[in-house]
Amino acid sequence: MQGPAHEAGQAALGAPVALAARETLSYRVEWRLIRAGAATLSWEAAPEGTPHQWQASLRLESTGLVSRLYKVEDHYVAQLDSGLCAVSSLLKAHEGGRRRETSVTFDGGSRKASYLERDVVKNNVVRSVEIDIPPCVHDVVGGLFVLRKMRLEPGEQAQIPISDGKKSVSARIEAQARETVTTPTGTHKTIRYEAFLFNNVLYKRPGHLYVWLTDDARRLPVQIRVRLQFHIGTLTFQLEKEERT
């Protein structure tokens, strides 16, 4: 869908919000009304001399009853250039009895992304693929920071190039409404966004992804909600602690 809303979203990209040089956001994760885990979203400038400028990471760990039923320890790190375009990513996933390492290299010059997934337990390659990408594409976690730099008002939308290394898409981001959200860090005035990544866009499975960003200069993601099929249910991430420079 293009038109005025799309144009407004593109204009928002030209008036970016400044991101902190270093930031760590800690979340509680709820599933079916119980505490299911903890997540830490980190952002920092890369050391001088490295080929990338930014590093974004997400650590997800199950806790309590959920951890006893199905233990999850995932650690994802993405390297980004000055325009937040993805340079590389690495996911170390320990989910139940499965342990996988997935690396992706994004080459904007050749417009190619190389995806490699390994089974750590069996020590073999699960999948290796190379796909076409645009000169600048964002990984999913980096895409969150792209959204934070934008100034989309309710009713506006934009398209963001997103890739997980297996597929490259132009994902629609829609600013839906201003809402007041209460988390362990307090009550926040926010704008709710929906990122259209499910339903055969980037991911095949049916679902919805919502992000609540504070309606201020910080643009903090104080709440994130992934709503999947009934047998999986809804995962809600609520901000518990913020550290930034």
Cα 10 to its chain centre, rounded Å, is 20
pLDDT (tens digit per residue) in 112-132: 999 999 999 999 999 999 999
The structure tokens 């600013």 sit at: 175
Is domain 4-244 given the CATH code 2.40.50 in the classification? no
pLDDT (tens digit per residue) in 52-97: 789 999 999 999 888 888 899 999 999 999 899 999 999 999 998 8
CA distance 199 to 207: 6
Reported confidence tier of residue 16, pLDDT bands at 50, 70, 90: low
- Residue 148 has φ and ψ, to the nearest 5°, of -65, -30
pLDDT (tens digit per residue) in 196-206: 999 999 999 99
Domains of the chain, residue spans:
4-244
Reported confidence tier of residue 46, pLDDT bands at 50, 70, 90: confident
Tokens encoding 196: 């259209």
CA distance 25 to 192: 18
Tell me the Cα Rg of the chain: 18
